[in-house]
Amino acid sequence: MKANPEVPSPDDIDPRPTLRHAYQRVRSLTEQLCEPLAIEDYGLQTAVEASPPKWHLAHVSWFFETFLLVPFLPGYRTFHPRFDFLFNSYYEQLGTGYWPRPQRGLLSRPTVAEVYAYRRHVDEGMESLLAREPDASWRTIAERLRIGINHEQQHQELLVTDIKYNLAYNPLRPAYRADLPQNPDDGPAPLAFTSFDGGIVEIGAAADLDFAYDNEHPRHETLLRSYRLANRLVTNGEYLAFVEAGGYQEPALWLSDGWAKVRSAGWQAPLYWERLDGHWHEMTLGGLRPLNRAEPVCHLSYYEADAFARFAGKRLPTEAEWEHAAAQVPVEGNFVDDGRFHPRPASGAGLTQLFGDCWEWTVSAYLPYPGYRAVDGALGEYNGKFMCGQMVLRGGSCATSRDHCRASYRNFFYPHERWQIKGVRLAEDG
């Protein structure tokens, strides 16, 4: 991970107050997201991908403890000698090992109260660390703190989507928050395409960004052919036409692996769609609701996104095409900050919904940029070791923080996964 521009030296403006505020704000939001939960919800894990809320709360605290407090705060005492085993996610180089991901929901202890006490212990340690006078280690501390803050924001998004998956598993279809607003079903904005000229363009994290992950570097040139990008995301109504036309029964529309997944998993519609009394409904964090045809379709696998694009006579954009277009518009949209926790219908002119609402599948495999080098040590495992077998998504979702999004941000998931809030933007050759 890289922070640009570089953290100021002790002789420059002291960045500690800004970083302290960012740390406190992010830590507070994580706990706010858990406020609607019942105590029984905290330990629930209904899929390998969806970790218990209790685990997320502890893991992000473990990250600050492991990478900041233990190495840089003299006299710091870890909260519990075995938490480094329970709450390490996948960092092999630390040598502590880790509890198996599929079994995170099998642990009744530590209790929720103990996990919150762990958070308080780590917060107190971080306050002490940030109160120290800067020394030769401060540059590393500040860089790791920025990584930790962004890391917790990533887990806030996972927290939201994991809670949704866990609640949707329940046949009662309980709401996370029954007071969440519903979007009007007024019909989507007309689908149109914006043209972009081909040529050599630059993609990747710009030098003036305050923060970017290592997988966004180095910024480099790439060649684009002329292309056209849809002005908005594909809607539920448009995807419903694919479902009702027998899209899930037509092998010619699917990649081979996708068709195998459709048959083995019995997919007939997007995740969280249910047909009740002849009408389609969708499970949301506000509970089960009638399908709103104007909203963006979400919770699609890469296979479904690709099949729909083929059905529509279009294709998915490359990540370079997407970034080239998104770099020309401000980072505005429907984010977790708005507290809606669900995509909104498109509105406005020009390219819309590029940020927020739904992560957007691209046709690009998650691979290193030319000249990429993972950072040294265990933190080098954050992104680099996953650059195989996954596909890139762009733009953020309604579960992503606004200040966590940027045009160069590269998210990545396996092509069969559906539990994240992922949708489709169509593209075509220019």
pLDDT values of the chain reduced to their tens digit, one per residue, 430 residues: 544 433 344 445 788 999 999 999 999 999 999 999 999 999 999 999 999 999 999 999 999 999 999 999 999 999 999 999 999 999 999 999 999 999 999 999 999 999 999 999 999 999 999 999 889 999 999 999 999 999 999 999 999 999 999 999 999 999 999 999 999 888 888 999 999 999 999 999 998 888 999 999 999 999 999 999 999 999 999 999 999 999 999 999 999 999 999 999 999 999 999 999 999 999 999 999 999 999 999 999 999 999 999 999 999 999 999 999 999 999 999 999 999 999 999 998 899 999 999 999 999 999 999 999 988 899 998 999 999 999 999 999 999 999 999 999 999 999 999 999 999 999 999 9
Q: Is 58 found in the same domain as 159?
A: yes
Q: Is 261 found in the same domain as 401?
A: yes
Name the one residue in this structure whose structure tokens are 């770099």: 327
Q: Is 122 found in the same domain as 28?
A: yes
> Which structural domain, as residue segments, surrounds residue 289?
193-429
Q: Is residue 3 part of a domain?
A: no
Widest Cα–Cα separation across the chain: 69
Residues 394 and 326: their CA atoms lie apart, in Å, by 9
As for how many domains the chain has, the answer is: 2
Q: Is the dihedral of CA 132, 133, 136, 142 positive or negative?
A: positive
Query: Which DSSP category does 363 fall into?
Result: E
Q: Is residue 149 part of a domain?
A: yes
Secondary structure (3-state) at 221: strand
Q: Is 197 found in the same domain as 155?
A: no
Query: Which DSSP category does 213 fall into?
Result: -
Q: What is the pTM of this model?
A: 0.95
Residues 58/66, Cβ–Cβ less than 8 Å: no
Q: Is 277 found in the same domain as 139?
A: no
Residues 90 and 384: their CA atoms lie apart, in Å, by 12
Q: Is residue 158 part of a domain?
A: yes
Q: Is 141 found in the same domain as 34?
A: yes
Q: Is residue 187 part of a domain?
A: no
Phi and psi at 372, nearest 5°, equal -65, 140
Residues 392 and 413: their CA atoms lie apart, in Å, by 7
Peptide bond preceding 15: is omega within 30 degrees of 0, i.e. cis?
no
Residues 254 and 262: their CA atoms lie apart, in Å, by 9
Residues 194 and 230: their CA atoms lie apart, in Å, by 6
Q: Is residue 8 part of a domain?
A: no
Q: Is 239 found in the same domain as 165?
A: no
Q: Is residue 4 part of a domain?
A: no
Q: Is 134 found in the same domain as 42?
A: yes
Q: Is 389 found in the same domain as 249?
A: yes
Residues 29 and 379: their CA atoms lie apart, in Å, by 24
Q: Is residue 1 part of a domain?
A: no
Q: Is 389 found in the same domain as 267?
A: yes
Q: Is 413 found in the same domain as 273?
A: yes
Q: Is 218 found in the same domain as 135?
A: no
Question: First CA to last CA across the chain, in angstroms?
Answer: 35
Residue 92 to residues 82, 280, 298: CA-CA distances in angstroms?
16, 45, 34
